[in-house]
Structure 1
């Protein structure tokens, strides 16, 4: 098994039609500042005025680029998930790489990234908020649909005998299993030092699961 990949820490900025380079740089500053506030202080601290002050700009200048907090959050989520999609795409399009090895690499990327401060703070903050905020709930669901897409594609390739719904269940199980490790082995969590062992067990288990699970196993789990 290859060594764990690098953390996914950067943002991929949403593209906009037209506009000046200065405006693009300003939007990048706003999104990076908003992400920093969310990680360090929590979502509720990430008000428009707080972001403007941290960027050392007038409130009106901020609302020129992002008219509402919802628009800012939507752009921030897009920048975060796009950074993962670039990494996933690089893995899934390696020439002549068997699908099981691609599955290993995608899982290692996600598991290793859980140990980063950004991921440990960012996603649990959103999970908690999505329980009470319908807007955040919708954004989080969309984010995870896109995050599961590479897993689903690889599982479908490995197991053409499973139905699309069964492949989705397996992809959901693997994704949920990895995300659940955040609270135990994420950044500065009690079992972070054991993450290398956890990664090896997880990847071995997921690959065995995808290779061997049967339709009747999934149907049995549904009853």
Structure 2
């Protein structure tokens, strides 16, 4: 049995700023971490430029030096969040000696265990709330989840190369949505948190089986011969 090493998703991956902006790297990171803290600890209602500036130890004028608008700040925050996941996913995708099925299981474990953290349990639902009423946030969330599904899509293609692209994308979306849905039941301080190891076993077995055994056309209700 191949033993896979553990992976942990950092809270944020903030890219270094170029050129004349490099001097302000510390302040830039301080603001993004303050925004993340406010969203996790106090909810989306606290995510105002004034509250973020106060949490960062600066005034709104200073904050505007780094971010011209709240939309720009949210874009950078989401980019820093998803970049941290992409690095962790990439490490799993390129783990030496692991089969595609083993890497899919590892990816599932990483995501579900991450869901049990305070940051993830609170961060993403708050963004879902914002996206219901803010088209800009909705667009950023769709972009975020599109990027997050890339690894799932690649693994499904490796496990089952005969599956057409649209069916592979649909399966990747189903797997992603199934895991995300556990946030409200088994996330941080949620009633079924203690059962997350059980959910992990169910998820790994069922998702690998689906990826391996689905035949072209079956998702669309077609027989394999008609696909």
- Asked whether the two chains share a fold, i.e. TM above 0.5, the reply is yes
Deviation at 1:9, TM superposition (A): 3.5
TM-score (norm: length of structure 1): 0.94
Task: Write the mapping of 1:23-62 to structure 2, written as runs, cut at 5 A.
Answer: 23-62=24-63
Q: 5+ residue gaps in structure 2? A: 223-227
C-alpha deviation, 1:174, in angstroms: 0.4
Distance 2:75 2:176 in 1: 22
Shift of 1:199: 0.6
Q: CA deviation at 1:44?
A: 2.1
Q: Which residue of structure 1 lines up, in the alignment, with residue 225 of structure 2?
A: none
1:121-136 map, 5 Å: 121-136=122-137
Q: Which residue of 2 aligns with 1:105?
A: 106
Question: SS of the residue aligned with 1:161?
Answer: coil
Aligned pair count reads 221
Using the TM superposition, give the Cα deviation of residue 7 of structure 1 relative to its aligned residue in structure 2, in angstroms. 4.3
Q: 1:7 to 1:94 in 2, by over 3 A?
A: closer
Deviation at 1:213, TM superposition (A): 1.2
Q: Deviations over 1:85-117 (max 9, x none)?
A: 000011101123211111111111101100000
Contact 1:6 1:109 in 2 (8 A): yes
Q: How does 1:76-91 map to 2 (within 5 A)?
A: 76-91=77-92
SS in 2 for 1:215: coil
Distance 1:21 1:220 in 2: 55
Q: 2:185 is matched with which residue?
A: 184
Question: Matched residue of 1:219: which SS?
Answer: coil
TM (normalized to structure 2)? Answer: 0.92
Query: Where do 1:134-153 residues align within 5 Å?
Result: 134-153=135-154
- Deviation digits for residues 113-136 of structure 1 (CA, Å, limit 9, x no counterpart): 000001100111111221111011
Stretch of structure 1 that moved more, 88-97 or 166-175:
88-97
Q: What residue is the counterpart of 1:75 in the other structure?
A: 76
The question of whether the paired residues in 1 share the 8 Å contact of 2:116 and 2:187 is answered with yes
CA RMSD of aligned residues (A): 1.7
Q: Indicate how the Cα distance of structure 1 residues 173 and 68 shifts in structure 2: closer, same or farther if over 3 A, else same.
A: same
Structure 1 counterpart SS, 2:220: helix
Which SS does the other structure have where 2:198 is aligned?
A: helix
The CA distance in 2 between the partners of 1:211 and 1:86, in whole Å, is: 26
